């Protein structure tokens, strides 16, 4: 897996200049509602788009076109996640709109929750665990509902619903997991995603792409990135996602809006970026995709920016095929001063890190970082979204042209606002002092951690000659995330942060350390069912680091495990010693990566990152349940209201924040759904 990036820690704002870290509120409309609703383990939030009003009309128009392009691909991610997802979503929506029976029953309420979860996950599998979630109503109830709704509103016949969709929805053994990473299984055959056609085995998939590997080309394309591999009459065939290929109906709409965007670009470089992307969507040519990425990296001047395409490969157990996503955004110029300071000092951080000099870059280049304001989320970034992104993913492009790293601050700000007064900190912090420190610094420290992780951590270090980068296999992604987190953690406690005015005083990093340890050893367990292991990469990485420093500091009492009123707490007693432990582990993790030491990676991950102490887990779940919170969040988008003059030209663009969750989902399904039910 690539050094890509989705960090899901909840962090803080900085609508403040980095040199004066005061907590000024951003310009948010009066009575803005951050919380929309809560169901199952999900909380739906809303994000404001501060700074939108100050943009020029032309910039707003550009954002509008790109935002439309971001919504048009929604069906693609449903189909990529599982081939029955569109049929199931459309069947459920038809029932929701047309069911004539009693809607005030427990069964119908459970039906609504199920539909909301399907919308949220872009399919029938949990967006995070990737396990299929069960409907909270019976198969028998579902059959009576189907019987009462007129067949004409369904996407497929009632026989197909009964024979094909009902087993997929209700039978726990069918399509059980979207992404199965269990190395003892055939991870392709047992994963329910739609990247690999019926009957394709892991061995076939691996050898197909092994054969395509070009070891001589210094600029190798990412074979398989934008297609499904299918078996046709016993032959393996790539079905490319492009105009006149698979997903053509949706991609045509995306291109329609991108071509509109071409009429209002800010400069020539941005023009070039969009032209390459349009060309790529028309041809499916992966060389064009690389040109697009390089042009995108070179575009440093534009205020408006966006991601739109087949980008991240987390949804494919082999990490080859990319899910469709879009994030439309513009630069937060004030907050970006902070990341500019970090980038400008990248070499200093590399030189002073505690790792073996052989594993350090002598010449750090191409690290660009900015703070952005999201203006529309789409595809795999909607409704659940990352708070930081680092692209592109192709190794050779990163090496030759660098990478772009962003922190999405209006999203972290919304998380922060929505958590206020939830009682969460009071429950899991040991002392009032810890709560106060978190309230005071958590925000700024969290954002800084994200910046450091994305823009320095992932970009730091180098492989020894002869090491390819894929030696760590299934443990590679966890090791890579640990490396980025450790780099950030180590430097948060460095006086350099104060010298650069990135943190206000010597207490701020303590809030970051408290938060990390509390989350890594306890609160992130709220996302896991009792008895299960930790599987998700970022969660594994956080527990790996937290448990390692806890156990290695036990004799020195660096972190003390305490009990108060029957409740467990992990309390940091020696912050500087803890920082040294972060440094030690960073050195070891970098060694593992640089040498490609698979055995060491495996031992580290299996020993520290996977297993959970059952009694502690049970306690954390019980304490959390009393708070009545949801461990996962996602967002509804703003609605773009366009005003036109008599000649039909756009005369104004306003954002409306009043749309509800189901309302938005149904509108998208009605106005932006183009794909056939099966693709
Ligand atoms: Zn990362």
DSSP 8-state code for residue 606: I
**Per-residue pLDDT reduced to its tens digit, 489-538:** 999 999 999 999 999 999 999 999 999 999 999 999 999 999 999 988 99
Q: Could you give the dihedral angle defined by the CA atoms of residues 279, 281, 282 and 286, in that order, rounded to the nearest 10 degrees?
A: 70
- pLDDT tens across 463-475, in order? 999 998 889 988 9
The total of other beta-carbon atoms located within 10 Å of residue 65's CB is 24
- What is the Å distance from ligand 1's center to 588 Cα? 18
Q: State in Å: Cα 458 to ligand 1 middle.
A: 7
- Residue 388 belongs to domain spanning: 12-75+245-635
Same domain, 551 and 416: yes
Tokens of 325: 């996503």
Helix (H) or strand (E) holding 602: helix 598-604
At 1 the pLDDT is: 35
Ligand 1 centroid–CA 454 distance in Å is 6
Structural contact between residues 383 and 660, judged by C-beta atoms closer than 8 angstroms = no
CA of 135 to the centre of ligand 1 (A): 33
Of 343, 91, 397, 66, which Cα lies nearest the Cα of 222?
A: 397
Instruction: Say how many Å lie between the CA of residue 475 and the centre of ligand 1.
Output: 14
Considering the domain architecture, whether residues 431 and 488 belong to the same structural domain is answered as: yes
Query: For the residues of 303-333, what is the DSSP string, one character each?
Result: SEEEEEEEEE-TTSTTS-S-EEEEEEEEE-H
Q: Are 378 and 74 in contact (CB under 8 A)?
A: yes
CB atoms within 10 A of CB 394: 22
Q: What is the pLDDT of residue 23?
A: 40
Residue 581 CA to ligand 1 center (angstroms) comes to 20
Residue 614 CA: distances (Å) to CA of 341, 385, 539, 541, 547: 44, 30, 17, 19, 15
Q: Which two tokens stand for residue 558?
A: 């660096």
The answer to whether the beta carbons of residues 620 and 525 sit under 8 Å apart is yes
C-alpha 7 – ligand 1 centre gap (Å) = 6
Check whether residue 410 and residue 477 sit in a common domain. Answer: yes
540 with 424, same domain: the answer is: yes
Distance 191 CA to ligand 1 centre (A): 24
Residue 500 and residue 381 share a domain? yes
> How many angstroms separate the CA atoms of 631 and 469, rounded?
33
Interval between CA 589 and ligand 1 midpoint (Å): 14
336 & 388 share domain: yes
Q: How far apart are CA 88 and CA 23, in angstroms?
A: 45
In this structure, the answer to whether residues 66 and 101 fall within a common structural domain is: no
Strand order in the sheet with 42-46: 35-39, 42-46, 632-636
Q: Alpha-carbon distance 382 to 577, whole Å?
A: 40
- Is the domain of 399 the same as that of 496? yes
Structure tokens at 502: 């990135």
- The answer to the question of residue 215 being in a domain is no
Which H helix or E strand runs over 160?
helix 158-160
CA of 245 to the centre of ligand 1 (A): 33
- Tell me, in angstroms, the distance from the centre of ligand 1 to residue 616's CA: 27
Q: How far is the CA of 377 from the centre of ligand 1 (A)?
A: 20
Closest CA to 488 of 435, 419, 412, 545: 545
541 C-alpha to ligand 1 centroid (Å):
10
pTM: 0.87
**Rounded to the nearest whole angstrom, what is the distance from the C-alpha of residue 388 to the centroid of ligand 1?**
8
For residue 222, being part of any structural domain is answered with no
Query: Is 387:412 a contact under the CB 8 Å cutoff?
Result: yes
Ligand 1 midpoint to CA 351 (Å):
21
In the chain, pLDDT over 90 holds for what percent of residues?
A: 86
Q: Which residues of 413-427 are buried (b: 16+ CB within 10 A; e: fewer)?
A: bbbbbbbeeeebbeb
For residue 150, count other CB atoms closer than 10 A to its CB. Answer: 9
Both 103 and 151 in one domain: the answer is: yes
**452 Cα to the center of ligand 1, angstroms:** 10
For residue 100, how far is its CA from the centre of ligand 1 (angstroms)?
48
SS3 568: strand
Instruction: Compute the distance from residue 3 Cα to the ligand 1 centre, in Å.
Output: 7
Please indicate, yes or no, if residue 234 is contained in any of the structural domains: no
Residue 658: exposed, middle, or buried by beta-carbon count in 10 A (0-12, 13-18, 19+)?
A: exposed
Give helix then strand counts, H and E, for the chain.
Answer: 25, 14
Q: How far is the CA of 496 from the centre of ligand 1 (A)?
A: 22
Q: Is residue 187 part of a domain?
A: no
CA distances in angstroms from 269 to 295, 326, 423, listed in the order given: 7, 20, 48
Cα(481) to centroid(ligand 1), Å: 5
- In a domain, residue 514? The reply is yes
Residue list, CB under 5 A from ion ligand 1: 5, 481, 484
Could you tell me the distance, in angstroms and rounded to a whole number, from the CA of residue 5 to the centre of ligand 1?
A: 4
Q: Are the C-beta atoms of 397 and 433 separated by less than 8 Å?
A: no
CA of 520 to the centre of ligand 1 (A): 15
Whole-Å CA distances, 19 to 332, 338, 500, 501: 15, 8, 8, 5
Phi-psi region at 565: left, alpha or beta (left = phi > 0; alpha = psi -120 to 50): left
Determine how many CB atoms are found less than 10 A away from the CB of residue 539: 22
239: phi then psi, degrees, rounded to nearest 5:
-105, 105
Ligand 1 centroid from CA 59, angstroms: 30
Query: Taking Cα atoms as reference points, which of 178, 185, 224, 225 lies closest to residue 202?
Result: 185
What token pair was written down for 213? Answer: 């590997």
For residue 4, how far is its CA from the centre of ligand 1 (angstroms)?
Answer: 6
In whole angstroms, what is the distance from residue 567 CA to residue 563 CA? 5
Assigned domain for 61 exists = yes
What pLDDT is stored for residue 366 in this prediction?
61
Structure tokens belonging to residue 416? 């922060």
> Which of 384, 358, 386 shows the shortest CA–CA distance to 590?
358
CA of 426 to the centre of ligand 1 (A): 28
Residue 478 alpha carbon to ligand 1 centre in Å:
9
Tokens of 236: 């393996």
Shared domain for 156 and 270, answered yes or no, is no
Going from the Cα of 6 to the center of ligand 1, the distance in angstroms, rounded, reads: 6
- 367-379 and 403-408 as β-strands: parallel, antiparallel, unpaired? parallel
What's the 215 CA to ligand 1 centre distance in angstroms? 27
Distance 539 CA to ligand 1 centre (A): 11
HSE, CB side, 13 Å, CA atoms: give it for residue 602. Answer: 8
My answer on whether omega of the bond before 576 falls inside 30° of 0, hence cis, is: no
Ligand 1 center–CA 392 separation, angstroms:
13
Q: How far is the CA of 564 from the centre of ligand 1 (A)?
A: 35
Measured in Å, residue 479 CA sits from the centre of ligand 1 at 10
Identify whether residues 350 and 477 lie together within a single domain.
yes
Tell me: do 57 and 169 sit in the same domain: no
Count of structural domains, the chain: 2
Whether the Cβ atoms of residue 395 and residue 213 lie closer than 8 Å to each other? no
Query: CB burial class (10 A; 0-12, 13-18, 19+) of residue 551?
Result: middle
Rounded Cα distance between 281 and 273, Å, is 13
Q: Which pair of tokens denotes residue 125?
A: 């599998």
Span from the CA of 574 to the centroid of ligand 1 (angstroms): 27
How distant is the alpha carbon of residue 184 from its chain centre? Answer: 27
Rounded Cα distance, 61 and 652, in Å: 8
Ligand 1 centroid to residue 449 C-alpha, Å: 11
Q: Which residues of 220-250 are buried (b: 16+ CB within 10 A; e: fewer)?
A: bbbbbbbbbbbeeeeeeebebbbbebbbbbb
Query: Could you write out the DSSP letters of every residue in 470-485?
Result: -TTGGGHHHHHHHHHH
Which of the residues in the chain have pLDDT under 50? Answer: 1-24
User: 267 C-alpha to center of ligand 1: Å?
Assistant: 31
Residue-wise pLDDT for 412-428, tens only, equals 999 988 888 889 999 99
Query: What does the buried/exposed string (b/e) look like for 340-369 if buried means 16 or more CB atoms within 10 Å of the residue's CB?
Result: ebbbebbeebbeebbbeeebbeeebebbbb
Terminal CA-to-CA distance of the chain, rounded, Å? 27
């Amino acid at each position: 897996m690539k050094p890509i990036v989705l960090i899901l820690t909840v962090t803080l704002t900085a609508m403040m200049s980095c040199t004066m870290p005061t907590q000024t509120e951003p310009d948010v409309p009066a009575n803005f509602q951050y919380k929309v609703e809560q169901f199952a383990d999900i909380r739906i939030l809303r994000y404001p788009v501060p700074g939108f009003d100050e943009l020029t009309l032309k910039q707003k128009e550009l954002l509008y076109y790109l935002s439309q392009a971001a919504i048009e691909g929604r069906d693609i991610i449903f189909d990529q996640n599982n081939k029955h997802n569109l049929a199931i979503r459309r069947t459920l929506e038809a029932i929701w709109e047309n069911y004539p029976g009693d809607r005030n029953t427990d069964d119908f309420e459970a039906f609504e929750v199920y539909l909301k979860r399907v919308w949220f996950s872009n399919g029938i599998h949990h967006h995070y665990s990737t396990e299929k979630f069960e409907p909270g109503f019976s198969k028998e109830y579902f059959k009576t509902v189907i019987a009462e709704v007129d067949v004409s509103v369904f996407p497929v016949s009632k026989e197909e619903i009964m024979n094909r969709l009902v087993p997929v929805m209700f039978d726990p053994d069918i399509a059980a997991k979207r992404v199965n990473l269990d190395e003892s299984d055939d991870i392709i055959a047992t994963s329910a995603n739609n990247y690999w056609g019926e009957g394709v085995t892991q061995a076939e998939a691996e050898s197909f792409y092994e054969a395509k590997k070009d070891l001589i080309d210094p600029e190798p394309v990412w074979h398989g990135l934008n297609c499904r591999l299918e078996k046709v009459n016993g032959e393996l065939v790539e079905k490319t996602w492009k105009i006149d290929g698979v997903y053509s109906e949706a991609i045509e709409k995306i291109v329609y809006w991108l071509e509109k965007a071409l009429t209002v670009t800010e400069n020539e470089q941005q023009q070039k970026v969009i032209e390459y992307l349009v060309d790529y969507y028309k041809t499916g040519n992966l060389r064009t995709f690389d040109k697009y990425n390089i042009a995108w990296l070179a575009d440093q001047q534009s205020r408006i920016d966006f991601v739109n395409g087949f980008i991240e490969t987390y949804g494919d157990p082999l990490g080859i095929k990319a899910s469709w996503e879009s994030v439309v955004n513009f630069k937060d110029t004030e907050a970006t001063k902070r990341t500019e300071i970090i980038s400008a000092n990248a070499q200093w951080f590399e030189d002073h890190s505690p790792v073996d000099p052989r594993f350090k870059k002598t010449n750090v280049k191409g690290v660009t970082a900015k703070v952005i304001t999201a203006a529309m989320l789409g595809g795999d970034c909607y409704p659940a979204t990352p708070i930081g992104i680092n692209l592109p993913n192709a190794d050779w492009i990163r090496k030759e042209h660098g990478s772009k790293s962003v922190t999405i601050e209006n999203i972290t700000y919304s998380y922060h606002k929505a958590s206020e007064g939830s009682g969460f900190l009071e429950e899991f912090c040991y002392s009032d002092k810890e709560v106060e420190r978190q309230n005071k610094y958590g925000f700024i420290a969290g954002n800084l951690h994200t910046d450091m992780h994305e823009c320095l951590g992932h970009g730091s270090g180098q492989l020894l000659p002869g090491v390819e980068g894929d030696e760590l296999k299934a443990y590679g992604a966890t090791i890579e995330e640990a490396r980025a987190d450790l780099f950030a953690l180590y430097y948060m406690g460095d006086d350099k942060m104060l010298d650069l005015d990135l943190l206000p005083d010597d207490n701020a990093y303590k809030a970051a350390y408290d938060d990390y340890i509390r989350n890594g050893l306890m609160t992130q367990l709220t996302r896991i069912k009792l008895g299960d292991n930790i599987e998700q990469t970022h969660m594994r990485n956080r527990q790996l680091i937290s448990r390692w420093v806890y156990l290695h500091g036990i004799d020195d009492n660096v972190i003390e495990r305490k009990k108060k009123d029957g409740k467990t707490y992990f309390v940091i007693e020696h912050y500087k010693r803890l920082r040294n432990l972060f440094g030690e582990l960073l050195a070891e993790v970098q060694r593992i990566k640089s040498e490609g030491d698979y055995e060491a990676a495996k031992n580290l991950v299996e020993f520290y990152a996977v297993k959970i102490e059952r009694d502690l887990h049970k306690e954390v779940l019980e304490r959390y349940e009393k708070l009545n919170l949801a461990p996962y969040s996602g967002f509804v988008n703003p609605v773009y209201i366009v005003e036109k003059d008599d000649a039909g030209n756009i005369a104004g663009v306003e954002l409306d924040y009043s749309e509800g969750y189901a309302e938005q989902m149904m509108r998208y399904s009605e106005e932006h759904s183009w794909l056939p039910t099966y693709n």
